[in-house]
Amino acid sequence: MTTVFTIEPISAFSDNYIWLLHNGTDAVVVDPGDAGPVLAALSERKLALKGILITHHHFDHVGGLEALTAATQCEVWGPENPKIIPVTHRVSEGDTLHILGQAFQVMEVPGHTLDHIAYQGEGILFCGDTLFAGGCGRVFEGTHPMMRNSLAKIRRLDPQTKIYCAHEYTLANLQFAVAADPKNTVLEERVTHCESLREQNIPTVPSILADEIATNPFLRWDAPSVMATLVAESKLIGSNSDDVFAGLRQWKDMF
Ligand code: ZN
Ligand code: FE
């Protein structure tokens, strides 16, 4: 069953995107860090909030939860982390949920946080702070191998999957990507394209997984060009994929 819904970004804080899915009547939001902009978007479009999807416990993703559920009594799907309140459906790897007539599968993608999950629909992925356009989330609670494994799971999805991440970090991410993969001409084109989008104040997301695989260094731990840069910059801490990934992520942390 395919039901058509629209997906729009709601801007929150300085660089968060709260994704709004709606069919003209009913709406679902992903990671509402702030209730204000969500309530405004709902009333502007005359939508009823039916559900909320949460990817992880950070405040900029859950801060609007209490106010929104108090105002709408909507259902909330979220990770198995009791710290996130209120959640009506705790979900984990392989669970399926239905919103706006479409099935979504839950993927566990720990690394940025231990509770981080992503929601995969037909050709779309809501991945919170795990994979960003041109980058990935900081490894706060997990380990580098854990994060790489989570990104490897995402990398195996259909390359045409649209990646809906939770922040507009793209230009800064791409600056690092160029440092890590300087001879990547596809990346060069992406930088030009994203710069022109930002000049017009247009979001650079969602992106397409195939473009991430071609240009995002955090999906390119096994690309010889990325490995060569790490060697040249003395950032390589070992030669297996986890070492390459850790070397890259630690370099980006200080970049
Ligand atoms: Zn976060
Ligand atoms: Fe965040």
Q: Are 54 and 85 in contact (CB under 8 A)?
A: no
Decide if 202 is inside a domain.
yes
In angstroms, how far is the first alpha carbon of the chain from the final one? 46
Active site residues: 56, 58, 60-61, 112, 129, 167
Phi, psi of 73 (to 5 degrees): 55, 30
Query: Which ligand minimizes its atom distance to the CA of 138?
Result: 1
237, part of any domain: yes
d(Cα 236, Cα 137) in Å, to the nearest integer?
20
Range of the domain at 59: 6-254
The CB density around residue 46, as the number of other CB atoms within 10 Å, is: 10
Q: pLDDT tens, 136-176?
A: 999 999 999 999 999 999 999 999 999 999 999 999 999 99
CB contact at 8 A, 124 and 7: yes
How far apart CA 72 and CA 253 sit, in angstroms, is 39
| Per-residue pLDDT at 127 exceeds 70 | yes
CATH at residue 202: 3.60.15.10
Q: Looking at the whole model, is its pTM more than 0.95?
A: yes
Q: Which residue has the tokens 């009913």?
A: 26
Tens of pLDDT along 178-228?
999 999 999 999 999 999 999 999 999 999 999 999 999 999 999 999 999
Do residues 128 and 111 touch, judged by C-beta distance below 8 A? Answer: no
Is the pLDDT reported for residue 54 higher than 80? yes
Q: How confident is the model at residue 22 (pLDDT cuts 50, 70, 90)?
A: very high
250, two tokens = 């630690």
Look-up: residue for tokens 């710290």? 83
Of the pLDDT bands very low, low, confident and very high (cuts 50, 70, 90), residue 129 is very high
Residue whose tokens read 């191998």: 145
d(CA 225, CA 212): 15
Helix ranges (H only) for the chain are 35-45, 59-62, 65-72, 144-155, 170-180, 185-199, 209-215, 224-232, 241-254
* Proximal ligand: closest to the CA of 130: 1
What's the 181 CA to ligand 1 centre distance in angstroms?
Answer: 26
What is the Å distance from ligand 1's center to 232 Cα? 31
Phi, psi for 107 (deg, rounded to 5): -120, 130
Looking at the domain assignment, is residue 161 inside a domain? yes
pLDDT-derived band at 3, boundaries 50, 70, 90: low
pLDDT tier, 4 (very low <50, low <70, confident <90, very high otherwise): confident
What is the rounded CA–CA span in Å between residue 162 and residue 15?
Answer: 19
Pair 235, 247: CB distance under 8 Å: yes
Distance of CA 20 to the CA centre of its chain: 14
CA of 188 to the centre of ligand 2 (A): 26
**Cis omega (within 30 of 0) on the bond before 86?**
yes
User: Which ligand lies nearest the alpha carbon of 31?
Assistant: 2
Ligand 2 centroid – CA 240 distance (Å)? 29
Domain presence at residue 1: no
pLDDT at position 239 is 86
Residue 138 Cα, ligand 1 centroid: separation in angstroms?
A: 8
Mean of the pLDDT values across residues 22-43? 98
CA–centroid distance, 31 to ligand 1, in Å, is 10
- For the chain, the domain total comes to 1
Q: Which ligand is nearest to the CA of 116?
A: 1
234 CA → ligand 2 middle, Å: 30
Using the structure block, give the residue that is written with the tokens 């240009």. Answer: 215
pLDDT in tens, 56-105: 999 999 999 999 999 999 999 999 999 999 999 999 999 999 999 999 99
Q: Could you tell me what percentage of the chain is helix, strand and coil, using 3-state DSSP and rounding each to the nearest 5? A: 35, 25, 40
User: What is the share, in percent, of the chain residues with pLDDT greater than 70?
Assistant: 99
pLDDT higher than threshold 90 for residue 2: no
Residue 190 located in a structural domain: yes
Residue 1 pLDDT greater than 60, yes or no: no
